[in-house]
Amino acid sequence: MLDRCFGARRIRQIQRTFRHGKITILCLFLTVLVLRGYLGAGKFGTPEQDFKEIKDHLHFRKRAEPHRVLEEAQTTTTETTENNNNNNNYGTFDPTKIAVDEEGDDEKPDPNKPYSLGPKISDWDEQRTKWLADNPNFPNFIAPNKPRVLLVTGSSPKPCENPIGDHYLLKSIKNKIDYCRLHAIEIFYNMALLDAEMAGFWAKLPLIRKLLLSHPEIEFLWWMDSDAMFTDMAFEVPWERYKDHNFVMHGWKEMIYDEKNWIGLNTGSFLLRNCQWSLDMLDAWSPMGPKGKIRDDAGKILTRELKGRPVFEADDQSAMVYLLITQRDKWGDKVYLENAYYLHGYWGILVDKYEEMIENYHPGLGDHRWPLVTHFVGCKPCGKFGDYSVERCLKQMDRAFNFGDNQILQIYGFTHKSLASRRVKRIRNDTSNPLEVKDELGLLHPSFKAVKVPASS
Amino acid sequence: MLDRCFGARRIRQIQRTFRHGKITILCLFLTVLVLRGYLGAGKFGTPEQDFKEIKDHLHFRKRAEPHRVLEEAQTTTTETTENNNNNNNYGTFDPTKIAVDEEGDDEKPDPNKPYSLGPKISDWDEQRTKWLADNPNFPNFIAPNKPRVLLVTGSSPKPCENPIGDHYLLKSIKNKIDYCRLHAIEIFYNMALLDAEMAGFWAKLPLIRKLLLSHPEIEFLWWMDSDAMFTDMAFEVPWERYKDHNFVMHGWKEMIYDEKNWIGLNTGSFLLRNCQWSLDMLDAWSPMGPKGKIRDDAGKILTRELKGRPVFEADDQSAMVYLLITQRDKWGDKVYLENAYYLHGYWGILVDKYEEMIENYHPGLGDHRWPLVTHFVGCKPCGKFGDYSVERCLKQMDRAFNFGDNQILQIYGFTHKSLASRRVKRIRNDTSNPLEVKDELGLLHPSFKAVKVPASS
């Protein structure tokens, strides 16, 4: 009897254990699903996506100092995965779903037609000269030796994949607003992709052409990347130095023409004169830009021809190096490769020296002692993966911002508590005679801002 | 035997069921914990915090149209919870931990000393007049009937609690850059808390005073909130209208002086002349500002005295209403309550009409037909909870931005595909005679930008 009891009992025991076990397992499985649901989607993507991003990330690591990574802050192509913006949720809402972006609506470029930035213009100098003569109230020089300059920058109209990226874009434009206010330079902040074929870093070309042609009163257009910041608020560009040149980039002749080095110059911060030569230059520069096969194939040529260039699609900087080395006779004489001051300053070799600079030097030098521009190439705060550690990038961007901001704050008697701190402290007490304050850096009423006093006033 | 089997078996059955049940319950409990862990911390806070926020939220709902909610985008007090910024992680990194913000380092204000914005100045008009005479190259009028204007705005130096907030701050400053470039207005973007006592919406007072006193060349200072956008790029403020006034705010006399309504005016967008009267006004305005007991107690007075005001600490707008109604004789004659155009336009009654406006009107009107400013009071995209639905706020902010941006883009032959779309399309083909383009809105070379042609040029 007992044997029969145990036998049947054992069977029911097993059955019961199995039933309860199923519930337990189901419950544990649900827990895992929930965890994966929160960790998996949105933040880390699918495993397939992970692999691709890691691969891309490793790709960019294979570079010698100094680095240069694609400036993709302007990418607004339809390929960008909208779903990756889940982290930008304001509450539980996905803002990327507000905008109605109808895919496939772009005009499809005619594959048989070579790319063109626009209708050919051959008499721009004449057109412009006439316009300036007819419009004396929009002069191209706002003071003796002071050309009218438009600083052009921008970023994607989409929220950054990395939410913190938009905060750094905001600080970056504030930084530019400050410098430009002191130096009587106007700003154009672009958030529109004017030509779908020229997306990404190439987007600046159609934009620049459009602005030059629309604004004949502009003498120089100053393109500046969104990841570049002004760190010398007192330095005025030596415009006179470039009176015989049309295109000023930071770079070294030897690195371009002798070494054919892909980072022999930098197109993250450059000056372009508003003239026929520049329109022709833009036309000559653009052919490697159209996305897809053209850009990919061009990238291979550039990697083959230029020293140190990794494998990736054609970028505007490499294309410029290639243009100069292959057509030096045509363009070289009007291109000024500037390295006496940091029109572009690679952040890696500058940011650790700010305290030393403060100790030993002063604003107004613009060079290695006090760089005009600190450019965070490779950091990509707007994207997901940069080429450097996140912590280092963001920390140094804060320091660079504060380093520049201190020069503004000191005008008003304040400074950041430290280069790492957002907070400010007073360094000069207010008085009842504010106009007697010594303007140490000459930034309160800078000479480069002064209007020309009319002769008969 | 069988009975004994069943009896013991039943007991063991029950025990086993209980054991398995315990595991099942534990497992379900863990699942709930995990869900709560992801939904609860950071996003929704503790239950206690939830209650408080719901209470505050309900409080702000008790209002008649139009609404006005605290502008807290500038809050940088030490009370702000740094930990709430976990959503801003760039990867897994918490950027709020980079900045070294040493708490408790602020100078503690003397409780026995009444608050002061700075040393008393009584001869500012004289100081300023002398300075202007000595500095003719920094005139306070840049053209006949065109005063030199500085537009002042800003936001917290910290990343927004809501990551998407920084993206909207970025769009907002681009919008202001565009308007100000067209209208020859300079911009000061503030990210520094100059006076810890006057944090939050009061932070603008010490800032404004500092800027007025540092820049005697400024004739008008235009304060504008970060959640206000320009939606009429062609409208020029009628400066001559205010030649006998020093302070221009959008509002209605009756709502202020008769109704004592707390939203009878709006301090999110106003003009303040650089003169002694304005310094005195700032001094008279500031006493309700110092945070803590003063501000809390003042809030109670304001709620009691003003119609429709909810219970919360004193804000600068309510304080201004109170100042005007209690000291009308002193200040009233120099305050212009403007309602002929939307120097401030409450978004709730404007944003659904953009298509109608495009259909029936044109830029340059500045009023209900084409508002100069659309102000997103109550949306608080930078904070966690606004007073309106997230979806509506962000969607409408995008529409307002695009509505304004279209006026810029049309200069260059482009427009947004729709008011909801980030993407742009061409509306005018390029030609080889770009200078013959018809400048429909007169924004390409606006008359308000033209420099005065010297008599002997």
pLDDT digits (tens, 9 = 90+) for A252-285: 999 999 999 999 999 999 999 999 999 999 999 9
Cβ-Cβ contacts under 8 Å, B453 against chain A: 136-137
- Evaluate if residue A39 carries a pLDDT over 90: no
Answer whether A58 touches B (CB < 8 Å): no
Q: Mutating which of B11, B89, B103, B167 best tests the A interface, going by the most A Cβ atoms within 10 A? A: B167
CA distance A282 to A223: 13
Q: Give the ipTM of the model, two decimals please.
A: 0.81
Distance between CA A225 and CA A208 in Å, rounded?
Answer: 13
| Residue pLDDT, tens place only, A325-357 | 999 999 999 999 999 999 999 999 999 999 999
The closest CB to that of B157, out of A164, A422, A437, belongs to: A422
Q: Which residue matches tokens 């990697």?
A: A303
pLDDT at A114: 87
Residues in Cβ contact with A434 at an 8 Å cutoff, skipping those fewer than 6 apart: B121, B127, B213, B214
B275 burial (CB, 10 Å; 0-12 / 13-18 / 19+) is: middle
Rg, chain A, Cα only: 28
Q: Where are the alpha helices (DSSP H) in A46-120?
A: 47-61
End-to-end CA distance of chain A: 124
pLDDT at A69: 30
Q: Supply the angle between the helices B163-182 and B390-409 in degrees, to the nearest 10.
A: 30
Confidence of residue B44 (pLDDT cuts 50, 70, 90): very low
Suggest the residue from B106, B164, B213 to mutate for an interface test with chain A (most A CBs closer than 10 A).
B164
d(CA A342, CA A269): 10
* Chain mean position to CA B344: 11
Cross-chain residue pair B102–A421, CB shorter than 8 Å? yes
Kindly report, residue by residue over A219-231, the tens digit of the pLDDT. 999 999 999 999 9
Dist. CA B98–CA B76, nearest whole Å:
16
Residues of B whose CB is below 8 A from A27: 24, 27-28, 31
**A30 contacts B95? CB cut-off 8 A:** no
Backbone angles phi, psi at B289, to 5 degrees: -80, -40
B441 closest CA partner among B103, B207, B182? B182
Q: Does B5 touch chain A (CB under 8 A)?
A: yes
Q: Do A170 and B177 touch (CB under 8 A)?
A: no
User: B222 pairs with which residues across the strands?
Assistant: B151, B271
Nearest 5°: CA angle at A257, between A269 and A329? 95
B319: tokens are 């304080």
Give me the long-range contacts of B172-176 (CB less than 8 A, separation at least 24).
B172/B226, B172/B227, B172/B228, B172/B229, B172/B401, B173/A170, B173/A173, B173/A174, B173/A177, B173/A189, B173/B226, B174/A173, B174/A189, B174/A191, B175/B229, B175/B230, B175/B401, B175/B404, B175/B405, B176/B151, B176/B224, B176/B229, B176/B230
B100 touches chain A (CB under 8 A): yes
Touching A: B residues 230-289, CB under 8 Å: none
**Alpha helices per DSSP H over A69-224:** 124-134, 163-182, 204-214
Residues, chain B:
457
Chain A CA closest to residue B380: A90
Instruction: Inspect the interface and report whether the beta carbons of B435 and A27 lie closer than 8 Å.
Output: no
Measured distance CA(B114)–CA(B105) in Å, rounded? 21
pLDDT of residue A386: 78
Burial class (CB in 10 A: 0-12, 13-18, 19+), B301: middle
Burial A427-452, CB ≥16 within 10 A → b, else e: eeebeeebbebeeebebbbbebbbee
Quote the strand ranges of B120-235, DSSP E: 141-143, 146-147, 149-154, 186-190, 220-224, 228-230
Q: Are B346 and B14 in contact (CB under 8 A)?
A: no
CB-facing half-sphere around the CA of A400: CA atoms within 13 A: 31
Report the alpha-carbon distance of residue A421 to residue A405 in Å, rounded.
11
Q: Which helix (H) or strand (E) holds A360?
A: helix A354-360
| pLDDT value for B400 | 98
| Nearest in space to A297 (alpha carbons), one of A319, A329, A327, A272 | A319
Higher pLDDT, A98 or A216: A216
pLDDT tens for residues B286-329?
A: 999 999 999 999 999 999 999 999 999 999 999 999 999 999 99
| E-state strands within A257-346 | 265-273, 335-338
Instruction: Identify the sign of the CA torsion A354, A357, A358, A363.
Output: negative
HSE of A153, CA atoms in CB hemisphere, 13 A: 25
Inter-chain residue contact B95 with A173, CB threshold 8 Å: no
Which pTM was predicted? 0.81
Long-range contacts of B57-61 (CB under 8 A, 24+ apart): B57/B385, B57/B387, B59/B310, B59/B311, B59/B312, B60/B310, B60/B378, B60/B387, B61/B387
Judged against a pLDDT cut of 70, whether residue A175 lies above it is answered with yes
The pLDDT, as a whole number, for residue A454 is: 53
Partner residues linked to A415 by β-bridges:
A425
Residue A330 forms contact with B (CB below 8 Å) = no
Q: Is pLDDT of A87 > 50?
A: no
Bridge partners, B425 (sequence order) = B415
Closest CA to B378 of B62, B68, B55, B66: B68
CB contact under 8 A, B90 and A162: yes
Instruction: Please check whether residue B41 touches A, CB under 8 A.
Output: no
Lowest mean pLDDT across A21-35, A148-162, A299-313: A21-35
> To 5 degrees, how large is the angle CA A238–CA A242–CA A244?
155
Q: Name the residue facing B435 among A1, A216, A418 (closest C-beta).
A: A216
Minimal C-alpha gap between B1 and chain A (Å): 7
Q: List pLDDT tens digits, range B340-385.
A: 999 999 999 999 999 999 999 999 999 999 999 999 999 999 987 7
Between B138 and A19, the higher pLDDT residue = B138
**Preferred mutation among B29, B170, B391, B406 to probe A, highest tally of A CBs within 10 A:** B170
Which residues, numbered 173 to 232 in chain A, qualify as contacts with chain B under a Cβ-Cβ cut-off of 8 Å? Answer: 173-174, 177-178, 181, 186-189, 191-194, 210-211, 213-217
Where does the pLDDT of residue A439 fall: very low under 50, low under 70, confident under 90, or very high at 90 and above?
A: confident
- Residue B163, classed as helix, strand or coil, is helix
Is-contact B71 B172, C-beta < 8 A? no
Work out the average pLDDT over B273-287: 98
Alpha-carbon distance of A261 to A324, in angstroms, equals: 11
Looking only at the bridges linking them, the beta strands covering A186-190 and A220-224 are unpaired
Contact B16 A20 (CB under 8 A): yes
Q: Does the beta-carbon distance from A414 to B192 stay under 8 Å?
A: yes
And the tokens for B445? 């070379």
Task: Report the run of H or E that residue B109 belongs to, with start and end.
Answer: none
Query: What one-character DSSP code corresponds to residue A332?
Result: G
The helix-helix angle for B276-285 and B204-214 (nearest 10°) equals: 160
pLDDT tens-digit map of B105-164? 556 777 778 899 999 999 999 999 999 999 999 999 999 899 999 999 999 999 999 989
Q: Do B98 and A394 touch (CB under 8 A)?
A: yes
